[in-house]
Amino acid sequence: MPFTELQTELNERAAQGLLRSRCTLVTAQSPHIVVEGKPYLAFCSNDYLGLASRPELAAALQQGTQQWGVGAGAAHLVSGHFGPHHQLEQQLAAFVGKPAALLFSTGYMANLGVVQALVGKGDTVFADKLNHASLNDAMLLSRAATRRYRHGDMAQLAQLLAQAQSGRKLVITDAVFSMDGDMAPLRELLALCEQHDAWLYVDDAHGFGVLGEQGRGSLAHFGLVSARIIYMATLGKAAGVSGAFVAAEQVVVDTLVNHAHGYVYTTATPPALSVALLQSLRMIAQGDGLRAHLHRLVARLRRGLSGLPWQLMSSETAIQPLLIGDNQQALKLSEALRQRGIWVAAIRPPTVPQGTARLRITLSAAHTDADVDQLIGALHELAC
């Protein structure tokens, strides 16, 4: 059998409690989902504002397909760049306070494309050790030298920056760390980048739509304005649709249009998605009520889960991981919740460091107080 070795590897993973598999939802994304015929209260999507299944977005998408059809039919640089793409880029740039923006099909591709286009052999990328996997892959693809600093350790980053002699320097970081929920010290990062003439690439997958005035994201949250910041946010999380964008100085965007393989060599996203995203952007900007409710839910959860044998990690965002430690125990707890009709994902290595398996609880503005109370009650029962 030509694939025996693959099966052996999978068996080993399974023995360590690390085998991954998928569950099929038969209802739309929301706190109340049906999986294999059973209803669940779910705390694992990144649909932080509950927009993914809102009828306003479905209607915009429908209207978009009526006007623009379904497929884009070509890459942006050939004949796949449509009016709604262009309009969305302009509005996104203005929303996050940058001169220009560029759409990508996914956040994963944006990260690969940006890092690969901006640095190469002879340059150095500096990265937080807890960055998202796509940023790690991006550094490898770029062929630049890579220096990883301990999570949030600005002293170590300063040392590494000082050691880099020639070439471009690019610091890359999650703004909100996806598996921990804490925020990068963006103000300090920017100060170091200024001191060492480095560029700062900020991945705001979990901040855009949620943080800052009107949901403008992590830069707005910290009040940071700087031409040396290159900003990326995804559009499939709080925005509830799909895709990603990079916002930066015009010269950076022009460079990406010319050199980012993840932009150049791929078919444009359906223009109707941009029509839906224009609607989503309006709802984000007008979403103060949703964000206030989300904030109250975070506080309610943190109050309710104090006193458990497991600690909530230090986070003020919608990502509220409960640290379990052992892989099998995290799986068991997740399974026990599932038997009670509650769905929370167990996150294990290699997604997180060894010995830090966790339940990644995520909250959404679509949750109610009663939903959160149900999770709190179940976890207290299971702790006994």
Ligand X SMILES: *Cc1c(COP(=O)(O)O)cnc(C)c1O
Helix, strand and coil content of the chain, in percent to the nearest 5, comes to 45, 20, 40
* Footprint (CB under 6 A) of ligand X, residues 122-151: 132, 134
The residue from 85, 237, 293, 367 that is catalytic is 237
- Among residues 142, 178, 320, 356, the one that binds ligand X under rule CB under 6 A: 178
Q: What gap in Å lies between CA 52 and CA 56, rounded to an integer?
A: 10
Q: Is 121 a catalytic residue?
A: no
Q: How far is the CB of 175 from ligand X (least distance, A)?
A: 8
Asked if 206 is an active-site residue, the reply is yes
Does 205 interact with ligand X (rule: CB under 6 A)? yes
* C-alpha to C-alpha distance for 112 and 248, rounded to whole angstroms: 16
| Nearest residue (beta carbon) to ligand X | 107
Pairing mode, strands 199-203 and 169-174: parallel
Least distance between ligand X and beta carbon 178 (Å):
4
- Least separation in angstroms between CB 38 and ligand X: 26
Residue 179 in tokens: 């598996």
The number of residues that bind ligand X (CB under 6 A) is 14
Asked if 199 is part of the footprint of ligand X (rule: CB under 6 A), the reply reads no
Smallest distance, ligand X to C-beta of residue 315, A = 14
Distance CA 51, CA 207 (A): 15
Q: What's the CA gap between 320 and 317, in Å, rounded? A: 7
Q: Does residue 180 touch ligand X according to CB under 6 A?
A: no
- Can you say whether the dihedral through the CA atoms of 293, 175, 159, 149 is positive or negative? positive
Min dist CB 254 to ligand X, Å, is 23
Does 174 interact with ligand X (rule: CB under 6 A)? yes
Alpha helix ranges (H) inside the chain = 4-15, 55-68, 83-96, 107-118, 133-142, 154-163, 186-195, 218-222, 250-259, 261-264, 271-285, 288-304, 327-339, 369-383
**203 interacts with ligand X by CB under 6 A:** yes
The yes or no reply on residue 106 touching ligand X (CB under 6 A) is: yes
Q: Please calculate the CA angle 209-217-357 and round it to the nearest 5 degrees.
A: 80
Longest dimension (CA), the chain: 62
Stretch that binds ligand X, among 17-25, 107-115, 159-167, 194-202 (CB under 6 A): 107-115
Residues acting as catalytic residues = 178, 206, 237
Site residues (vs ligand X, CB under 6 A): 106-108, 111, 132, 134, 174, 178, 203, 205-206, 234, 236, 244
